[in-house]
Structure 1
Amino acid sequence: MKRKTAVVLLGSLTILTAFSGCGNNEATEAASESAQTEDEGTGDDAEMQAALEEEEEQKEKEEEKETKKDIEETKEAEEEEATSEAEESEEEDSNQVAVLFPDENNWADDAYELAQNLAEDGYEPMVFYAEGDGSKQVSQIQEMLAAEVKAFIIAPVDPYGLTDALAPVKEAKIPVFSYDQLIMDTNAVKYYTTFGGRQAGNMIAEEIIEKEELEKLREEKGTKTIEFIMGSLDNTQALFLYNGVMEILQPYLDDGTLVCTSGKVSFDDTGILRWSRESAETRFREILENSYEEGKQPDIICTGFDQAALAAVEVLEERGGVPGSEMWPMITGVECEPEAVKAVASGKISFSLFMDYRLLADACEQMVHQCLNGEEDPEVNDYEQYDNGVKIIGTYLCEPQIIDGDNYEILIDNGYYDEEEIRPEATPTPTLEPTSTPVPDPTVTPEPTEEPESEEEAEPTPTQKPRITLRGSK
């Protein structure tokens, strides 16, 4: 029994010893941690601090990234806005169409019509006049090129003087439309609108053949004289018109039906530089003095412009010619200027060729609009005869019209002229003074030798007085 108790006591002692050892270890570890904490701080706080620092750093990076993104987006927006403004500005500038004419005096009506039509289609017309100065027109082209206009409409002062000025226009891909007069020696011209000189010349010649009955004259082996005073030597349209006239009349000149007494038939011999009326008058005087006897004149005077026709009228009237008489020649004109239309209406000029600028302006503006919008190609009715020395230019030809004494009033009806502009003043016809025939004495009936059957005596019957008539105006 003692032996068992001892074992038990020994076991208890062992357990206590074990517990005692365990407590000492924990205390040692706690003390160690306490000492470490005093030196370095706790491990959890350090980790937290590191995490906070890392989070702060990450946050700063994100904020920096957002700021950078905002800056880039703002920059992109500004660039887009600037681009949009530039495009709007370019679009606004591109709506400008330059209209360049030689002078205001002769071209104001064309310019007005073109400007109206361009404005209606949403363009901004920029109209310039060169005052007859070719170098000034070159400067105007350069100015409008810098303004980046969308197109050029040009009636040239000098058709051969725009080659260099239009080269950069071609490079900038800005279309050029030649108006009335063809611009020469350049590939910048895209289209051309005109009345067609050759076509006009054909019409003049055909009217001469019809009204002068040249076919009948040819059959009868007869002859009529003709003289030519044509348009400006530096104008391509004037040359085309001359060619059109000669194309039809040359066979009659060849067979002698028509005779040019002066021998001046070529364009160089008949052309009048710068359409000068004074030069045309001088030329016609020389022809009469050198080629016709006193009191004689040509049967036909074919001119290429109204001022030449009017000059011929003036010279003939100074020499005693009477319009409407058998000796008065056939005189032709071109353009239907007001003074010329009056001369047509009064019989001094046989006819003039009417070229309505409104048709020309409408056709040109329509070509510009179609070309710029790309809806369809502009209408061209001639792509053969208008070669400007570099290429054949696609052309739209407007139709002229013959105006004579029978139809000149259509220029009033269609609004081209007011009545007072072209209707000639009535020429009073001299009125003869009324004359009376002497009234003879009454015839007395002799008294009958025999008594009358009636008791009343017959009264003498006077002879009726002749009726006096007044000759009024015809």
Structure 2
Amino acid sequence: MRTRRAALGIITGASLALALSACGEQSAAGSGSESEGGTIGIAMPTKSSERWLTDGESLVKDLGAKGYETTLVYGDDDPQAQITQIADLVQQRVDVLIIAAIDNKSLTGVLQQAADADIPVISYDRLILGSGNVDYYVSFDNEQVGRQQARHIIDRLGLEKGKGPFTLELFAGSPDDNNTRYFYEGAMYLLQPYLDSGQLVVRSGEIKLEKITTLRWDGTTAEARMKRILSTSYNGRTVDAVLSPYDGISRGVLSALKSYGYGSDGKDLPVVTGQDAELASVKSIIAGEQSQTVYKDLRELATVTANMADDILKGRTPRINNRRSYQNGVKAVPAYLLQPASVDKSNYASVLAGYYTADELG
């Protein structure tokens, strides 16, 4: 009897052209056919971020609607704890693993255990590196996230109209998250010409990716770094914009800025970007503090992932729209990418309609 992983190899090989040609059509998964059932293991990175709670809840809901049982675990930002959790899911003989990695290079050994147990793996939002045992990747177009953040800064400062020079400081995500590089490269693609021309000036001199990362995307870490930059590089000068890749980092940056008098005494807060449309940051945007965030509909991400798991287990070709771009160091992982949306004070009500209620937004 052919194993699931052997069948999966046939799907991702001989049938891949069919998947690409049909990527604009609705997947057959979730169309009302009766599920055979089974158990899906879901490994999320942390409960400390609002978005991962939403991801976990949405996946459980969508998979349950298809007749699957789920086992959802959170790794509390501890890579070794996540490895142990995934190993336990393998021992439980789950039918599919959905993994949002804490450290994208730490899972090679445990994914070999999954392969040996014939368990397919979907890399969720964060691409797992260094392993050939990653079958699919589901995420958003992460370079586009960075470009939307950069575009907001360019528009708000009037850089295309020749205004400037302005000061800018750069923040990036966790160094062990592959998405960090995509966000940074997307943003710098648009910002670099203005840095080269002198319209944008990074007074701290911290521009290269390895100088601006924020371990575990931690807001407190970002706040401490912003305070250091303000104390060493901005005596008597003003920060005009901060590229922040994530709302938790943005809130940390804003806290540091406020402690230095920004937002009071006629000293305006700089343009500060963000990502994930977390409720606290959307409220901050409404209040005129954080300037922008990038909304990624996590419900849609969960739905695509649930459909993919269902397709895998029923021997159907999962829907993908990117075959070659996501190289994990061992293989190009077939991917499905969703599109993000930029949110600011002018459009939050329309873009986030149905995601937050009026009462939640205050």
TM-score over 0.5 for the pair: yes
TM-score when normalising by structure 2? 0.83
| SS at structure 2 position matched to 1:204 | helix
Q: Give the paired residue count.
A: 326
Distance in 1 of aligned mates of 2:67 and 2:248 = 38
> Is 2:79 the partner of 1:134?
yes
| SS at structure 2 position matched to 1:409 | helix
Structure 2 stretches lacking a partner, 5+ long: 1-34
Q: Please, which of 184, 188, 196 is the counterpart of residue 254 of structure 1? A: 196
Q: Counterpart of 2:185?
A: 243
Contact kept, 8 Å, 2:227 with 2:257, in 1: the verdict is no
Q: CA deviation at 1:93?
A: 10
> Closer, same or farther in 2 for the Cα pair 1:131/1:319, shift >3 Å?
closer
Aligned Cα root-mean-square deviation (Å): 2.2
Distance in 1 of aligned mates of 2:228 and 2:265 = 24
> Is 2:145 the partner of 1:200?
yes
Distance in 2 of aligned mates of 1:245 and 1:379 = 28
> Is 2:96 the partner of 1:157?
no
Q: Counterpart of 1:419?
A: 358
Q: Please, which of 73, 77, 100 is the counterpart of residue 43 of structure 2? A: 100
Distance in 2 of aligned mates of 1:145 and 1:127 = 13
Q: Counterpart of 2:174?
A: 232
> Closer, same or farther in 2 for the Cα pair 1:320/1:393, shift >3 Å?
same
- After superposition, the C-alpha distances for 1:182-206 in whole angstroms (9 at most, x for unaligned) are 1111111111111232121111112
> Closer, same or farther in 2 for the Cα pair 1:331/1:156, shift >3 Å?
same
Select the structure that is richer in helix: 1
Distance in 2 of aligned mates of 1:308 and 1:325 = 24
Q: Counterpart of 2:22?
A: none
| SS at structure 1 position matched to 2:170 | strand
Q: Counterpart of 2:275?
A: 334
- After superposition, the C-alpha distances for 1:295-346 in whole angstroms (9 at most, x for unaligned) are x222111111112222232233333323796743211111222221111001
| SS at structure 1 position matched to 2:274 | strand
Distance in 1 of aligned mates of 2:60 and 2:189 = 37
| SS at structure 1 position matched to 2:347 | coil
- % identical aligned pairs: 33
- After superposition, the C-alpha distances for 1:27-58 in whole angstroms (9 at most, x for unaligned) are xxxxxxxxxxxxxxxxxxxxxxxxxxxxxxxx
> Is 2:86 the partner of 1:145?
no
Q: CA deviation at 1:348?
A: 0.9
> Is 2:129 the partner of 1:184?
yes
> Is 2:306 the partner of 1:361?
no
Q: Counterpart of 1:398?
A: 338
Distance in 1 of aligned mates of 2:38 and 2:290 = 45
Kindly provide the amino acid, as one letter, of the partner of residue 402 in structure 1: S
Q: CA deviation at 1:228?
A: 0.7
Q: Counterpart of 1:465?
A: none
Higher relative contact order (CA 8 A, sep 6+): 2
| SS at structure 1 position matched to 2:258 | helix
- After superposition, the C-alpha distances for 1:240-267 in whole angstroms (9 at most, x for unaligned) are 1011111121111112121111111011
Between 177-186 and 331-340, report the one with greater CA deviation.
Answer: 331-340
Q: Counterpart of 1:117?
A: 62
Kindly provide the amino acid, as one letter, of the partner of residue 43 in structure 2: L
Contact kept, 8 Å, 1:110 with 1:358, in 2: the verdict is yes
Q: CA deviation at 1:280?
A: 1.1
Q: Counterpart of 2:220?
A: 278
Contact kept, 8 Å, 1:202 with 1:248, in 2: the verdict is yes
Show the 5 A alignment for 1:38-49: none
> Is 2:250 the partner of 1:309?
yes
Kindly provide the amino acid, as one letter, of the partner of residue 131 in structure 2: T
Q: If you compute each CA radius of gyration, which structure gives the higher value, 1 or 2?
A: 1
Kindly provide the amino acid, as one letter, of the partner of residue 202 in structure 2: C
| SS at structure 2 position matched to 1:208 | helix
Q: CA deviation at 1:412?
A: 5.9
Distance in 1 of aligned mates of 2:270 and 2:165 = 14
| SS at structure 2 position matched to 1:189 | coil
Q: Counterpart of 1:59?
A: none
Q: CA deviation at 1:102?
A: 2.1
- After superposition, the C-alpha distances for 1:259-291 in whole angstroms (9 at most, x for unaligned) are 111111011111111122222112111212211
| SS at structure 2 position matched to 1:152 | strand
Between 181-190 and 377-386, report the one with greater CA deviation.
Answer: 377-386
> Closer, same or farther in 2 for the Cα pair 1:284/1:140, shift >3 Å?
closer
Distance in 2 of aligned mates of 1:159 and 1:283 = 24
Contact kept, 8 Å, 1:233 with 1:268, in 2: the verdict is yes
| SS at structure 2 position matched to 1:225 | strand
Q: Please, which of 308, 319, 322 is the counterpart of residue 379 of structure 1? A: 319
Q: CA deviation at 1:350?
A: 1.2
Q: CA deviation at 1:94?
A: 7.2
Show the 5 A alignment for 1:283-298: 283-294=225-236, 296-298=237-239
> Closer, same or farther in 2 for the Cα pair 1:349/1:181, shift >3 Å?
same
